[in-house]
Amino acid sequence: MRSLQKHLRGVGLLLRLCSTMATFLVLTLLTLSSVSSPVQAEIFTSIGQMTDLIFAERELVQSLKEYIEAEELKLEAVKSWANKLDMLTHASTSDPEGFLAHPVNAYKLMKRLNTEWSDLESLVLQDPSDGFISNMSVHRQYFPDEEDEKGAAKALLRLQDTYKLDSESFSKGKLPGVRYNAELTVDDCFDMGKLAYNENDHYHSVLWMQQALRQMDSGEDAKTAKADILDYLSYSVYQMGDLPRAIELTRRLVAIDPSHQRAGANLRYFERLLSKELRDRGRSQQEPADERPIQLDTYERPKDYLPEREVYEALCRGEGVKMTPKRRSRLFCRYQDGNRNPRLLLKPMKEEDEWDSPHIVRFLDALSDEEIEKIKELAKPNLARATVRDPNTGVLTVAHYRVSKSAWLEGEDDPVIARVNQRIEDVTGLSVNTAELLQVANYGVGGQYEPHYDFSRRPFDSNLKVDGNRLATYLNYMSDVEAGGATVFPDFGAAIWPRKGTAVFWYNLFRSGEGDYRTRHAACPVLVGSKWVSNKWIHERGQEFRRPCGLTEGDRS
C-alpha cells in the first residue's frame, strides 16, 4: 500500500489522461444520442478536446469515492488519492481550457491515467467492488497508451528547445502567463530523460536526468533509485563527448552500487578512452571534470533536418524580428470598405498593415465572440489530426512537424459559416467560390506547424488543375494565447502574434502565378494557452478580373 501511495504521488500522467477523456466523451455522446463517431487518437494535439477529458476524470473520481464508501477501512490509501484528485478536478473543471493551457498540467494528466490509475485498479482487484471496477473497465478501452505519453513528453521537449527553457524552470512550472501551478517530480524528470534516451536523444536525456538528480540531491522523495539516474546520465554525457564528466558520474554510481552490472565496465572503458585522448594530445594529466551544473548551453544541440531552425525558433521567442523604424514608417491603418461594397459601407472593416513587402494586413473585429464560439462548437466533434500532402505521392498524411487537430466546415453547415465566407470575400475582394472549405484548427500541448508554403510548387498536384494554386491565405485568430503561438516568416523576419477576433491576410502568389517563396511561414509551438484558428485558402480560378495577371514573373502591383 505504501509503495502504491508513493507511486501515485507522481502526478506526471496529466497528458496521458488527455487521450482518455476525449475518447470517454465520445462514449458518453454515443450513449446519449446513439450516434456513431470515430474515436480520435493523439488527443494531446488539441486542447479543445482535452478539456472534455477534465470532466471525464471528474467522473472517474466520483466513481472512486463511491467505492471508497463501501470499503473505507481497507482502502484508506486509495481514499487519500481520491481526495487529492477531487481537489485537482474542482480546480480544473472550473476553467478546463485555462488549466490545460499549462503544458505540465496536460502532461501530468496523461501520465496519471496511463500509469497511476492502472496501479490503483490492480489494488482494487484484490477485493473487487463491482461498481468501481465496472466503471474502470468501461473507461479502460479509452485510456491512453505509451505513444500518447511519448507524444506529450516530446511536446515538452519541443517547447524547451524553441523557447530556451532550462529544465529547472520547466520542472518548477515557471512559465510565462500561467494561471495554475504545476511541477514535475524526480520521477517525472527521470521519465522524460528516459524517453529521450530511448529515442537516442542524449542531448535531452542529459538535461532531464541532471534535473532529476538535482531534485533528488535536494531531498525530494522518489521511487526512482539514484543509481538508475546516474546510470542513464553518465552514459548520455559520454555520448555528448564529455568523458571527464562521464567518469566522475560513473564513479558516483560505483560508490552507491559497487555491484552494478555496467558501471564498473563503463568506468574502465571511459578511463581508457580518456587516457588515449590525453596521449594523442601529448598530455599526461587529466583535467578535472567540469563541476558546473549542466545547463542548456553546456552541450551543443544537434542539428536537424530544418535549415532555418535557429531563425524560426528565434522569431518564435520574439528575437530577430526585422521591424525597423524605416519599415514601420511605411505601415498604416485604414477603414476597408471593399471598394464600396454595400455590406461594408455602413460598417467598414478596420485594417492594419503588419508588413510592407510582402504585404500582410490584419483585419480587426473580423469575428465576434459569438461567431467564434459557434465555429468551435461546429468543429469540435469533427476534429482530427491535421494532415499535410506528401510532395512525392500527393497523398494526405500526418507529419511530426504539424501538430494540431483540424476540421473542415462548409457554408451549408450553419449560417455563421456562410456569413464568415461572405465576409472574407467582401474584405479581400476575391471570390471564395473556388476556395477551400473553412479549416478550423486547435493546437494542443506544444502544437505547431513548422515552416512551410501554403502554395503548391510545380509540378502541381492533380487537385489543383481545376481551381488553380492557393492564391492567398486568410487566417482568423479565434483565441488569445498566453505565450507562444506566433505566426512567423523566417525569410524576412516577421512575427505576427495571435489576437482574438482578428484576421491576417497575404498573397502566396505573384500576379504572374509564380509562388512568392518569401511567404514560407510557420505556426510556433503554443507554450501556454490554447490556440484556435480558422483559415480560408483562396484559389486562382475566379480571380481573373479581381486580381488580373501581371506582365512579369515578379509583378506584385
Domain ranges of the chain: 44-141, 146-281, 319-539
206/105 Cα distance (integer angstroms): 23
Q: Which residues of 20-36 are buried (b: 16+ CB within 10 A; e: fewer)?
A: bbbbbbbbeeeeeeeee
Does residue 405 contact residue 46 with C-beta atoms inside 8 Å? Answer: yes
Over the chain (557 residues), the average pLDDT of each successive run of 10 is: 44 34 35 34 65 78 79 70 82 87 89 80 70 74 75 92 93 84 94 96 97 96 96 96 94 94 91 86 66 82 92 96 94 95 95 97 98 97 73 58 80 97 98 97 88 83 78 98 96 97 97 95 94 97 92 66
Asked if the domains at 146-281 and 319-539 fall in one CATH topology, the answer is: no
From the CB of residue 161, how many other CB atoms can be counted at a distance below 10 Å? 18
**CA 383 → CA 21, 47, 50, 212, 500, distances in Å?**
15, 11, 12, 36, 20
Please tell me the predicted confidence (pLDDT) of residue 166.
92
User: What are the beta bridge partners of residue 153?
Assistant: none
Please tell me the predicted confidence (pLDDT) of residue 399.
57
Does the structural domain 146-281 have CATH classification 1.25.40.10? yes
Written out in words, the top-level CATH class of the domain with range 319-539 is mainly beta
Please tell me the predicted confidence (pLDDT) of residue 26.
34
Stated pTM of the model: 0.80
From the CB of residue 452, how many other CB atoms can be counted at a distance below 10 Å? 14
**Residues in Cβ contact with 61 at an 8 Å cutoff, skipping those fewer than 6 apart:** 82, 85, 86, 89
236/320 Cα distance (integer angstroms): 32
**Residues in Cβ contact with 20 at an 8 Å cutoff, skipping those fewer than 6 apart:** 43, 53, 56, 57, 113, 114, 139, 142, 143, 144
**Quick one: cell of 287?**
583535467
310/296 Cα distance (integer angstroms): 15
Respond yes or no on whether the N-terminal peptide bond of residue 459 is cis (omega within 30° of 0).
yes
Please tell me the predicted confidence (pLDDT) of residue 289.
64
From the DSSP assignment, how many helices (H) and strands (E) are in the chain? 20, 19
Q: Which DSSP category does 179 fall into?
A: S
Please tell me the predicted confidence (pLDDT) of residue 16.
37
Please tell me the predicted confidence (pLDDT) of residue 287.
65
